[in-house]
Structure 1
Protein backbone atom coordinates (compact mmCIF):
# COMPACT_ATOMS: atom_id res chain seq x y z
CA UNK A 1 0.00 0.00 0.00
CA UNK A 2 2.70 2.48 0.95
CA UNK A 3 5.67 1.32 -1.14
CA UNK A 4 5.63 4.43 -3.33
CA UNK A 5 5.97 6.66 -0.25
CA UNK A 6 9.09 5.08 1.24
CA UNK A 7 11.04 8.34 0.95
CA UNK A 8 8.58 10.07 3.32
CA UNK A 9 7.96 7.10 5.60
CA UNK A 10 9.21 9.12 8.58
CA UNK A 11 6.18 11.43 8.24
CA UNK A 12 3.87 8.46 8.75
CA UNK A 13 5.63 6.80 11.69
CA UNK A 14 6.91 9.81 13.66
CA UNK A 15 5.70 10.20 17.24
CA UNK A 16 4.54 13.75 16.57
CA UNK A 17 2.35 15.13 13.79
CA UNK A 18 4.12 17.24 11.17
CA UNK A 19 3.20 20.92 11.25
CA UNK A 20 1.27 21.87 8.10
CA UNK A 21 3.75 24.62 7.17
CA UNK A 22 6.69 22.27 7.70
CA UNK A 23 4.91 19.57 5.70
CA UNK A 24 4.41 22.02 2.84
CA UNK A 25 8.09 22.90 2.85
CA UNK A 26 9.14 19.25 2.99
CA UNK A 27 6.90 18.06 0.14
CA UNK A 28 7.30 21.08 -2.19
CA UNK A 29 4.24 20.27 -4.35
CA UNK A 30 4.63 21.91 -7.77
CA UNK A 31 2.35 24.94 -8.09
CA UNK A 32 0.50 24.20 -4.86
CA UNK A 33 0.82 25.16 -1.20
CA UNK A 34 -0.48 23.23 1.79
CA UNK A 35 -2.31 25.66 4.04
CA UNK A 36 -3.87 24.87 7.38
CA UNK A 37 -7.64 24.65 7.20
CA UNK A 38 -9.13 27.02 9.76
CA UNK A 39 -12.04 29.45 10.00
CA UNK A 40 -10.02 32.23 8.41
CA UNK A 41 -9.23 30.12 5.36
CA UNK A 42 -12.80 28.91 4.93
CA UNK A 43 -14.13 32.48 5.17
CA UNK A 44 -13.15 33.06 1.54
CA UNK A 45 -16.32 31.16 0.55
CA UNK A 46 -14.57 29.15 -2.14
CA UNK A 47 -15.27 25.50 -2.90
CA UNK A 48 -12.40 23.21 -1.83
CA UNK A 49 -11.50 22.46 -5.46
CA UNK A 50 -11.63 26.12 -6.50
CA UNK A 51 -9.20 27.00 -3.73
CA UNK A 52 -6.82 24.32 -4.98
CA UNK A 53 -7.04 25.78 -8.48
CA UNK A 54 -5.78 29.04 -6.96
CA UNK A 55 -2.83 27.16 -5.47
CA UNK A 56 -3.93 26.41 -1.90
CA UNK A 57 -4.69 22.91 -0.60
CA UNK A 58 -6.73 23.18 2.60
CA UNK A 59 -5.13 20.75 5.09
CA UNK A 60 -6.38 19.88 8.53
CA UNK A 61 -3.75 19.63 11.23
CA UNK A 62 -3.13 16.24 12.87
CA UNK A 63 -5.39 14.44 10.42
CA UNK A 64 -4.49 11.16 8.69
CA UNK A 65 -6.84 11.73 5.76
CA UNK A 66 -5.27 15.08 4.90
CA UNK A 67 -1.73 13.89 5.53
CA UNK A 68 -2.21 11.07 3.01
CA UNK A 69 -3.81 13.54 0.60
CA UNK A 70 -0.70 15.71 0.81
CA UNK A 71 1.58 12.72 0.22
CA UNK A 72 -0.40 11.73 -2.88
CA UNK A 73 -0.23 15.30 -4.19
CA UNK A 74 3.55 15.19 -3.84
CA UNK A 75 3.94 11.75 -5.41
CA UNK A 76 1.40 12.02 -8.27
CA UNK A 77 0.93 15.76 -8.92
CA UNK A 78 -0.06 15.40 -12.60
CA UNK A 79 -2.99 13.10 -11.75
CA UNK A 80 -4.09 15.35 -8.89
CA UNK A 81 -3.93 18.44 -11.10
CA UNK A 82 -5.98 16.71 -13.79
CA UNK A 83 -8.65 15.74 -11.25
CA UNK A 84 -8.78 19.27 -9.88
CA UNK A 85 -9.07 20.85 -13.33
CA UNK A 86 -11.94 18.52 -14.25
CA UNK A 87 -13.74 19.18 -10.96
CA UNK A 88 -13.43 22.93 -11.46
CA UNK A 89 -14.75 22.73 -15.01
CA UNK A 90 -17.86 20.95 -13.77
CA UNK A 91 -18.26 23.41 -10.89
CA UNK A 92 -18.07 26.32 -13.31
CA UNK A 93 -20.66 24.68 -15.57
CA UNK A 94 -23.04 23.16 -13.02
CA UNK A 95 -22.45 25.19 -9.87
CA UNK A 96 -21.93 23.71 -6.40
CA UNK A 97 -25.57 22.83 -5.74
CA UNK A 98 -25.35 19.26 -7.03
CA UNK A 99 -22.85 16.69 -8.21
CA UNK A 100 -22.59 15.38 -11.76
CA UNK A 101 -21.82 11.75 -12.59
CA UNK A 102 -18.37 12.88 -13.65
CA UNK A 103 -17.77 14.67 -10.35
CA UNK A 104 -18.81 11.53 -8.48
CA UNK A 105 -16.37 9.44 -10.53
CA UNK A 106 -13.54 11.93 -10.03
CA UNK A 107 -14.16 11.99 -6.28
CA UNK A 108 -14.35 8.19 -5.97
CA UNK A 109 -11.05 7.80 -7.74
CA UNK A 110 -9.45 10.59 -5.70
CA UNK A 111 -10.54 8.89 -2.47
CA UNK A 112 -10.15 5.17 -3.26
CA UNK A 113 -8.40 5.03 -6.62
CA UNK A 114 -5.81 2.52 -7.76
CA UNK A 115 -4.04 2.45 -11.12
CA UNK A 116 -3.48 -1.07 -12.43
CA UNK A 117 -1.43 -1.98 -15.47
CA UNK A 118 -2.17 -5.17 -17.39
CA UNK A 119 -0.09 -6.89 -20.05
CA UNK A 120 -2.07 -10.11 -20.42
CA UNK A 121 -5.59 -9.42 -21.72
CA UNK A 122 -6.78 -12.75 -20.28
CA UNK A 123 -6.28 -11.34 -16.80
CA UNK A 124 -8.44 -8.35 -17.67
CA UNK A 125 -11.20 -10.61 -18.98
CA UNK A 126 -11.11 -12.67 -15.76
CA UNK A 127 -11.28 -9.49 -13.71
CA UNK A 128 -14.25 -8.17 -15.67
CA UNK A 129 -16.13 -11.43 -14.96
CA UNK A 130 -15.16 -11.18 -11.26
CA UNK A 131 -13.53 -14.59 -11.72
CA UNK A 132 -11.44 -14.01 -8.62
CA UNK A 133 -9.92 -17.50 -8.44
CA UNK A 134 -8.74 -17.18 -12.02
CA UNK A 135 -7.39 -13.69 -11.39
CA UNK A 136 -5.64 -14.30 -8.07
CA UNK A 137 -5.06 -18.07 -7.62
CA UNK A 138 -4.56 -19.48 -11.09
CA UNK A 139 -3.20 -16.09 -12.14
CA UNK A 140 -0.80 -15.70 -9.19
CA UNK A 141 2.29 -16.01 -11.38
CA UNK A 142 1.05 -13.11 -13.51
CA UNK A 143 1.08 -10.90 -10.41
CA UNK A 144 4.50 -12.17 -9.34
CA UNK A 145 5.99 -11.60 -12.80
CA UNK A 146 4.44 -8.15 -13.23
CA UNK A 147 2.20 -9.14 -16.14
CA UNK A 148 -0.53 -7.51 -14.04
CA UNK A 149 0.41 -5.13 -11.25
CA UNK A 150 -0.64 -2.19 -9.12
CA UNK A 151 1.13 0.77 -10.68
CA UNK A 152 -0.07 3.23 -8.03
CA UNK A 153 -2.20 3.29 -4.92
CA UNK A 154 -3.71 6.73 -5.38
CA UNK A 155 -6.72 7.07 -3.05
CA UNK A 156 -5.88 8.81 0.19
CA UNK A 157 -9.05 7.53 1.91
CA UNK A 158 -7.99 4.02 0.93
CA UNK A 159 -4.63 4.64 2.58
CA UNK A 160 -6.42 5.84 5.71
CA UNK A 161 -8.54 2.66 5.77
CA UNK A 162 -5.34 0.63 5.63
CA UNK A 163 -4.47 1.87 9.13
CA UNK A 164 -7.02 -0.67 10.40
CA UNK A 165 -5.20 -4.01 10.11
CA UNK A 166 -8.37 -6.09 9.82
CA UNK A 167 -9.91 -4.00 7.03
CA UNK A 168 -10.41 -5.82 3.73
CA UNK A 169 -9.72 -3.06 1.23
CA UNK A 170 -11.34 -2.57 -2.18
CA UNK A 171 -9.76 -0.20 -4.66
CA UNK A 172 -11.66 1.54 -7.47
CA UNK A 173 -9.41 1.07 -10.46
CA UNK A 174 -8.40 2.56 -13.75
CA UNK A 175 -6.57 0.14 -16.04
CA UNK A 176 -3.76 0.75 -18.50
CA UNK A 177 -2.41 -1.82 -20.93
CA UNK A 178 1.36 -1.86 -20.58
CA UNK A 179 4.32 -2.91 -18.47
CA UNK A 180 5.67 0.36 -17.03
CA UNK A 181 4.33 1.92 -13.82
CA UNK A 182 5.40 5.50 -14.47
CA UNK A 183 4.04 5.41 -18.00
CA UNK A 184 0.73 4.03 -16.73
CA UNK A 185 0.40 6.92 -14.27
CA UNK A 186 1.27 9.40 -17.01
CA UNK A 187 -1.34 7.90 -19.34
CA UNK A 188 -4.02 8.14 -16.66
CA UNK A 189 -3.20 11.78 -15.91
CA UNK A 190 -3.43 12.62 -19.61
CA UNK A 191 -6.69 10.71 -20.12
CA UNK A 192 -8.36 12.35 -17.11
CA UNK A 193 -7.30 15.80 -18.29
CA UNK A 194 -8.72 15.12 -21.76
CA UNK A 195 -12.00 13.81 -20.38
CA UNK A 196 -11.38 10.31 -21.74
CA UNK A 197 -11.70 8.79 -18.25
CA UNK A 198 -13.86 9.31 -15.18
CA UNK A 199 -17.09 10.53 -16.68
CA UNK A 200 -19.19 8.05 -14.69
CA UNK A 201 -18.51 6.03 -11.50
CA UNK A 202 -19.47 2.84 -13.35
CA UNK A 203 -16.24 3.13 -15.32
CA UNK A 204 -14.25 2.13 -12.23
CA UNK A 205 -13.38 -1.54 -11.76
CA UNK A 206 -13.52 -2.77 -8.15
CA UNK A 207 -10.46 -4.73 -7.03
CA UNK A 208 -10.33 -6.61 -3.69
CA UNK A 209 -6.74 -5.65 -2.90
CA UNK A 210 -6.22 -8.28 -0.24
CA UNK A 211 -6.65 -10.92 -2.94
CA UNK A 212 -3.43 -9.87 -4.69
CA UNK A 213 -0.76 -12.50 -3.95
CA UNK A 214 1.29 -11.35 -0.99
CA UNK A 215 -1.10 -8.61 0.15
CA UNK A 216 -2.75 -10.69 2.89
CA UNK A 217 -1.36 -13.26 5.30
CA UNK A 218 -4.09 -15.87 4.87
CA UNK A 219 -4.69 -16.44 1.17
CA UNK A 220 -5.91 -20.01 1.16
CA UNK A 221 -8.81 -21.18 -1.01
CA UNK A 222 -11.31 -20.59 1.81
CA UNK A 223 -10.26 -16.93 1.94
CA UNK A 224 -11.15 -16.49 -1.72
CA UNK A 225 -14.60 -18.06 -1.13
CA UNK A 226 -15.64 -15.09 1.03
CA UNK A 227 -18.38 -13.79 -1.29
CA UNK A 228 -18.95 -10.78 0.94
CA UNK A 229 -15.51 -9.54 -0.07
CA UNK A 230 -14.90 -11.26 -3.41
CA UNK A 231 -18.27 -10.31 -4.80
CA UNK A 232 -19.79 -11.80 -7.95
CA UNK A 233 -20.36 -9.50 -10.88
CA UNK A 234 -23.83 -7.97 -10.99
CA UNK A 235 -26.15 -9.01 -13.80
CA UNK A 236 -25.63 -6.73 -16.76
CA UNK A 237 -22.49 -5.11 -15.31
CA UNK A 238 -19.96 -4.29 -18.01
CA UNK A 239 -16.71 -2.40 -17.87
CA UNK A 240 -16.03 -0.15 -20.85
CA UNK A 241 -13.06 -1.13 -22.98
CA UNK A 242 -12.21 2.54 -23.41
CA UNK A 243 -10.53 2.39 -20.01
CA UNK A 244 -7.83 0.16 -21.45
CA UNK A 245 -5.39 2.69 -22.86
CA UNK A 246 -2.37 1.46 -24.84
CA UNK A 247 0.88 2.91 -23.56
CA UNK A 248 3.47 4.48 -25.80
Structure 2
Protein backbone atom coordinates (compact mmCIF):
# COMPACT_ATOMS: atom_id res chain seq x y z
CA UNK A 1 0.00 0.00 0.00
CA UNK A 2 1.34 3.43 -0.89
CA UNK A 3 1.99 6.02 1.76
CA UNK A 4 -0.67 8.36 0.42
CA UNK A 5 -3.26 5.61 0.19
CA UNK A 6 -2.54 4.57 3.74
CA UNK A 7 -3.07 8.13 4.85
CA UNK A 8 -6.23 8.76 2.90
CA UNK A 9 -4.50 10.50 0.00
CA UNK A 10 -5.64 11.00 -3.57
CA UNK A 11 -5.00 7.37 -4.55
CA UNK A 12 -8.57 6.36 -3.66
CA UNK A 13 -10.35 4.91 -0.66
CA UNK A 14 -7.88 3.87 2.06
CA UNK A 15 -7.89 0.37 3.46
CA UNK A 16 -9.37 -0.07 6.88
CA UNK A 17 -6.87 1.01 9.53
CA UNK A 18 -6.43 -1.23 12.55
CA UNK A 19 -5.08 0.79 15.50
CA UNK A 20 -2.78 -0.75 18.07
CA UNK A 21 -4.12 -2.08 21.33
CA UNK A 22 -4.10 0.47 24.13
CA UNK A 23 -1.37 -1.34 26.03
CA UNK A 24 0.81 -1.46 22.90
CA UNK A 25 0.84 2.31 22.28
CA UNK A 26 4.15 4.00 22.99
CA UNK A 27 2.96 7.02 25.01
CA UNK A 28 5.76 9.12 23.53
CA UNK A 29 3.65 9.45 20.37
CA UNK A 30 1.43 11.93 22.22
CA UNK A 31 4.36 14.38 22.31
CA UNK A 32 4.01 14.78 18.54
CA UNK A 33 2.69 18.18 17.39
CA UNK A 34 -0.26 16.46 15.75
CA UNK A 35 -1.73 15.91 19.22
CA UNK A 36 -1.19 19.50 20.40
CA UNK A 37 -4.90 20.30 20.36
CA UNK A 38 -5.88 17.52 22.78
CA UNK A 39 -3.09 17.92 25.35
CA UNK A 40 -5.60 19.18 27.90
CA UNK A 41 -6.93 15.61 27.99
CA UNK A 42 -3.53 13.92 27.97
CA UNK A 43 -4.39 11.92 31.09
CA UNK A 44 -7.18 10.16 29.17
CA UNK A 45 -4.63 9.13 26.54
CA UNK A 46 -1.95 7.96 28.98
CA UNK A 47 -4.15 6.04 31.43
CA UNK A 48 -3.75 2.27 31.46
CA UNK A 49 -7.51 1.75 31.24
CA UNK A 50 -10.11 3.08 28.84
CA UNK A 51 -12.46 5.75 30.19
CA UNK A 52 -16.01 4.39 30.33
CA UNK A 53 -18.33 6.32 28.01
CA UNK A 54 -20.47 7.76 30.88
CA UNK A 55 -17.31 8.86 32.70
CA UNK A 56 -15.95 10.40 29.51
CA UNK A 57 -19.24 12.25 29.04
CA UNK A 58 -19.04 13.59 32.60
CA UNK A 59 -15.46 14.68 32.11
CA UNK A 60 -15.99 16.49 28.81
CA UNK A 61 -19.42 17.95 29.73
CA UNK A 62 -20.26 19.04 26.19
CA UNK A 63 -22.88 21.82 26.24
CA UNK A 64 -26.11 20.55 24.69
CA UNK A 65 -24.66 17.17 23.78
CA UNK A 66 -24.15 13.83 25.46
CA UNK A 67 -21.77 11.00 24.65
CA UNK A 68 -23.82 7.81 24.63
CA UNK A 69 -22.47 4.32 24.23
CA UNK A 70 -23.08 2.90 20.77
CA UNK A 71 -24.77 -0.43 21.32
CA UNK A 72 -27.63 -2.38 19.80
CA UNK A 73 -30.19 -0.56 21.93
CA UNK A 74 -28.99 2.83 20.71
CA UNK A 75 -28.84 1.81 17.06
CA UNK A 76 -32.37 0.41 17.26
CA UNK A 77 -33.73 3.94 16.90
CA UNK A 78 -32.78 3.74 13.21
CA UNK A 79 -31.52 7.31 13.11
CA UNK A 80 -28.66 8.51 10.95
CA UNK A 81 -25.52 9.11 13.02
CA UNK A 82 -25.54 12.85 12.20
CA UNK A 83 -29.26 13.27 12.91
CA UNK A 84 -28.80 11.68 16.30
CA UNK A 85 -26.02 14.17 17.03
CA UNK A 86 -28.31 17.04 16.06
CA UNK A 87 -30.72 15.71 18.68
CA UNK A 88 -27.97 15.86 21.31
CA UNK A 89 -26.57 12.32 21.37
CA UNK A 90 -23.11 11.43 20.04
CA UNK A 91 -22.84 7.68 19.52
CA UNK A 92 -19.52 6.56 21.01
CA UNK A 93 -18.03 3.08 20.92
CA UNK A 94 -16.47 1.87 24.15
CA UNK A 95 -12.74 1.08 24.24
CA UNK A 96 -12.17 2.64 20.84
CA UNK A 97 -9.37 5.02 19.86
CA UNK A 98 -11.24 6.49 16.91
CA UNK A 99 -14.26 7.48 18.99
CA UNK A 100 -12.16 8.67 21.91
CA UNK A 101 -10.30 11.08 19.64
CA UNK A 102 -13.61 12.14 18.11
CA UNK A 103 -14.93 12.98 21.57
CA UNK A 104 -11.78 14.98 22.39
CA UNK A 105 -12.15 16.99 19.19
CA UNK A 106 -15.77 17.70 20.14
CA UNK A 107 -14.52 19.02 23.47
CA UNK A 108 -11.66 21.04 21.92
CA UNK A 109 -13.35 22.45 18.80
CA UNK A 110 -17.05 22.35 19.63
CA UNK A 111 -18.29 25.20 17.35
CA UNK A 112 -16.48 23.70 14.37
CA UNK A 113 -17.97 20.27 15.07
CA UNK A 114 -21.45 21.74 15.41
CA UNK A 115 -21.15 23.61 12.11
CA UNK A 116 -20.05 20.43 10.36
CA UNK A 117 -22.95 18.46 11.82
CA UNK A 118 -25.47 21.13 10.84
CA UNK A 119 -24.28 21.04 7.24
CA UNK A 120 -24.38 17.25 7.16
CA UNK A 121 -27.97 17.33 8.41
CA UNK A 122 -28.97 19.86 5.75
CA UNK A 123 -27.62 17.62 3.02
CA UNK A 124 -29.15 14.48 4.52
CA UNK A 125 -32.55 16.18 4.48
CA UNK A 126 -32.12 17.12 0.82
CA UNK A 127 -31.02 13.68 -0.40
CA UNK A 128 -32.97 10.49 -0.98
CA UNK A 129 -32.42 7.85 1.74
CA UNK A 130 -29.10 6.08 1.30
CA UNK A 131 -27.70 8.63 -1.15
CA UNK A 132 -24.78 10.99 -0.57
CA UNK A 133 -23.58 13.98 -2.56
CA UNK A 134 -20.08 15.33 -3.00
CA UNK A 135 -20.54 17.95 -0.30
CA UNK A 136 -21.26 15.20 2.23
CA UNK A 137 -18.09 13.43 1.12
CA UNK A 138 -16.10 16.64 1.61
CA UNK A 139 -17.60 17.23 5.05
CA UNK A 140 -16.75 13.66 6.06
CA UNK A 141 -13.19 13.92 4.76
CA UNK A 142 -12.65 17.08 6.74
CA UNK A 143 -14.18 15.52 9.84
CA UNK A 144 -11.84 12.53 9.58
CA UNK A 145 -8.63 14.06 8.21
CA UNK A 146 -9.15 17.82 8.37
CA UNK A 147 -6.50 20.40 9.23
CA UNK A 148 -6.92 24.17 9.56
CA UNK A 149 -3.92 26.08 8.22
CA UNK A 150 -3.10 29.77 8.58
CA UNK A 151 -1.24 31.42 5.69
CA UNK A 152 0.44 34.79 5.77
CA UNK A 153 2.76 34.76 2.74
CA UNK A 154 1.10 34.50 -0.72
CA UNK A 155 4.35 33.15 -2.21
CA UNK A 156 4.11 30.14 0.08
CA UNK A 157 0.55 29.61 -1.10
CA UNK A 158 1.79 29.63 -4.70
CA UNK A 159 4.23 26.84 -3.86
CA UNK A 160 1.37 24.81 -2.37
CA UNK A 161 -0.82 25.50 -5.41
CA UNK A 162 1.90 24.01 -7.61
CA UNK A 163 2.72 21.09 -5.26
CA UNK A 164 6.23 22.51 -5.01
CA UNK A 165 6.76 20.62 -1.79
CA UNK A 166 10.42 21.55 -1.28
CA UNK A 167 9.52 25.23 -1.38
CA UNK A 168 6.40 24.77 0.78
CA UNK A 169 8.31 22.92 3.49
CA UNK A 170 11.26 25.31 3.62
CA UNK A 171 11.85 25.51 7.38
CA UNK A 172 12.06 29.31 7.27
CA UNK A 173 8.38 29.50 6.28
CA UNK A 174 7.19 27.38 9.18
CA UNK A 175 9.54 28.77 11.82
CA UNK A 176 8.97 32.35 10.70
CA UNK A 177 5.18 32.16 10.81
CA UNK A 178 4.51 32.44 7.07
CA UNK A 179 2.41 29.28 7.40
CA UNK A 180 1.22 27.35 10.44
CA UNK A 181 -1.05 24.51 11.43
CA UNK A 182 -3.75 26.09 13.58
CA UNK A 183 -5.57 22.87 14.43
CA UNK A 184 -5.56 19.20 13.55
CA UNK A 185 -9.30 18.56 13.36
CA UNK A 186 -9.41 15.07 11.90
CA UNK A 187 -9.75 12.40 14.56
CA UNK A 188 -8.79 9.67 12.06
CA UNK A 189 -5.39 11.37 11.69
CA UNK A 190 -4.90 11.11 15.44
CA UNK A 191 -5.84 7.44 15.43
CA UNK A 192 -3.39 6.66 12.63
CA UNK A 193 -0.65 8.70 14.31
CA UNK A 194 -0.65 6.15 17.14
CA UNK A 195 1.82 4.30 14.92
CA UNK A 196 5.00 6.46 14.88
CA UNK A 197 6.42 7.44 11.53
CA UNK A 198 3.22 6.93 9.56
CA UNK A 199 3.08 9.15 6.48
CA UNK A 200 -0.21 10.98 6.91
CA UNK A 201 -1.98 13.41 4.59
CA UNK A 202 -4.19 16.12 6.04
CA UNK A 203 -7.04 17.64 4.03
CA UNK A 204 -6.91 21.35 4.64
CA UNK A 205 -9.03 24.46 4.76
CA UNK A 206 -6.74 27.49 4.58
CA UNK A 207 -7.23 30.91 6.14
CA UNK A 208 -5.16 33.88 5.02
CA UNK A 209 -4.40 36.56 7.57
CA UNK A 210 -1.86 38.04 9.93
CA UNK A 211 -2.35 35.65 12.84
CA UNK A 212 -3.89 32.42 14.05
CA UNK A 213 -6.45 34.11 16.30
CA UNK A 214 -9.82 33.99 14.62
CA UNK A 215 -8.93 31.24 12.14
CA UNK A 216 -11.22 28.64 13.71
CA UNK A 217 -14.09 31.13 13.87
CA UNK A 218 -13.49 31.99 10.20
CA UNK A 219 -13.67 28.35 9.13
CA UNK A 220 -16.68 27.68 11.35
CA UNK A 221 -18.67 30.52 9.78
CA UNK A 222 -17.64 29.49 6.26
CA UNK A 223 -18.85 25.93 6.87
CA UNK A 224 -22.09 27.13 8.42
CA UNK A 225 -22.73 29.39 5.42
CA UNK A 226 -21.84 26.65 2.92
CA UNK A 227 -18.89 28.57 1.44
CA UNK A 228 -16.43 25.68 1.83
CA UNK A 229 -16.46 21.88 1.70
CA UNK A 230 -18.80 21.67 -1.26
CA UNK A 231 -16.61 19.07 -2.95
CA UNK A 232 -13.66 16.90 -1.80
CA UNK A 233 -11.50 18.48 -4.52
CA UNK A 234 -11.72 21.80 -2.67
CA UNK A 235 -9.61 20.39 0.14
CA UNK A 236 -5.86 20.94 -0.12
CA UNK A 237 -3.76 17.84 0.60
CA UNK A 238 -0.89 18.46 2.99
CA UNK A 239 1.70 15.70 3.55
CA UNK A 240 2.02 16.27 7.30
CA UNK A 241 5.32 14.44 7.65
CA UNK A 242 6.88 17.13 5.49
CA UNK A 243 6.31 19.86 8.07
CA UNK A 244 9.69 20.65 9.62
CA UNK A 245 10.03 18.73 12.88
CA UNK A 246 7.04 16.46 12.24
CA UNK A 247 9.05 13.46 11.01
CA UNK A 248 12.27 11.91 12.23
CA UNK A 249 14.24 12.02 8.99
CA UNK A 250 13.58 14.85 6.54
CA UNK A 251 16.47 14.69 4.09
CA UNK A 252 16.54 15.17 0.33
CA UNK A 253 15.64 11.53 -0.32
CA UNK A 254 12.61 11.83 1.94
CA UNK A 255 11.24 14.89 0.15
CA UNK A 256 12.00 13.19 -3.16
CA UNK A 257 9.46 10.44 -2.47
CA UNK A 258 6.93 11.23 -5.20
CA UNK A 259 4.58 8.53 -3.93
CA UNK A 260 4.01 10.65 -0.83
CA UNK A 261 4.88 14.15 -2.05
CA UNK A 262 2.75 13.84 -5.13
CA UNK A 263 3.02 16.08 -8.19
CA UNK A 264 0.07 18.25 -9.14
CA UNK A 265 -2.48 16.55 -11.33
CA UNK A 266 -3.16 18.22 -14.66
CA UNK A 267 -6.00 20.70 -14.30
CA UNK A 268 -6.16 20.49 -10.50
CA UNK A 269 -6.86 23.85 -8.87
CA UNK A 270 -7.61 24.82 -5.29
CA UNK A 271 -9.92 27.52 -3.96
CA UNK A 272 -8.47 30.74 -2.61
CA UNK A 273 -7.94 30.84 1.15
CA UNK A 274 -10.64 32.22 3.37
CA UNK A 275 -9.89 35.81 4.41
CA UNK A 276 -9.42 36.05 8.16
CA UNK A 277 -12.47 37.58 9.79
Q: Same fold (TM over 0.5)?
A: yes
| Residue ranges of structure 1 left out of the alignment (5+ in a row) | none
Deviation at 1:96, TM superposition (A): 3.1
For residue 2 of structure 1, give the secondary structure of its aligned residue in structure 2.
Answer: helix
- Which residue number corresponds to residue 260 of structure 2? 229
- Which residue number corresponds to residue 27 of structure 1? 60
1:187 to 218, 227, 232: 218
Deviation at 1:182, TM superposition (A): 3.9
- Which residue number corresponds to residue 81 of structure 1? 114
CA distance in 2 between counterparts of 1:224 and 1:91 reads 41
How many pairs does the alignment contain? 244
Alignment of 1:1-248 (within 5 A): 1-136=34-169, 139-241=170-272, 244-248=273-277
CA distance in 2 between counterparts of 1:15 and 1:140 reads 37
CA distance in 2 between counterparts of 1:227 and 1:166 reads 17
Deviation at 1:246, TM superposition (A): 1.3
TM-score normalised by structure 1 residue count? 0.96
CA distance in 2 between counterparts of 1:167 and 1:53 reads 34
Aligned-residue Cα RMSD (Å) equals 0.9
Deviation at 1:15, TM superposition (A): 0.2
Runs of 4+ in structure 1 off by over 2 angstroms are 179-182
8 A Cα contact 1:126 1:134, kept in partner: yes
CA offsets, 1:73-130, max 9 Å, x none? 0000111101100110111111331110100000000000000000001111100100
CA offsets, 1:45-76, max 9 Å, x none? 10000000000000000000000000000000
CA offsets, 1:12-42, max 9 Å, x none? 1110000100101111112110000001100
Deviation at 1:245, TM superposition (A): 1.4
CA distance in 2 between counterparts of 1:206 and 1:233 reads 10
CA distance in 2 between counterparts of 1:183 and 1:145 reads 19
CA offsets, 1:133-160, max 9 Å, x none? 1111xx3111012220000000001110
CA distance in 2 between counterparts of 1:207 and 1:59 reads 29
CA distance in 1 between counterparts of 2:274 and 2:269 reads 17
CA distance in 2 between counterparts of 1:162 and 1:177 reads 27
8 A Cα contact 1:146 1:179, kept in partner: no
> Using a 3 Å threshold, how does the CA distance of structure 1 residues 63 and 109 change in structure 2: closer, same or farther?
same
8 A Cα contact 2:218 2:274, kept in partner: yes
CA distance in 2 between counterparts of 1:145 and 1:232 reads 26
For residue 202 of structure 2, give the secondary structure of its aligned residue in structure 1.
Answer: strand
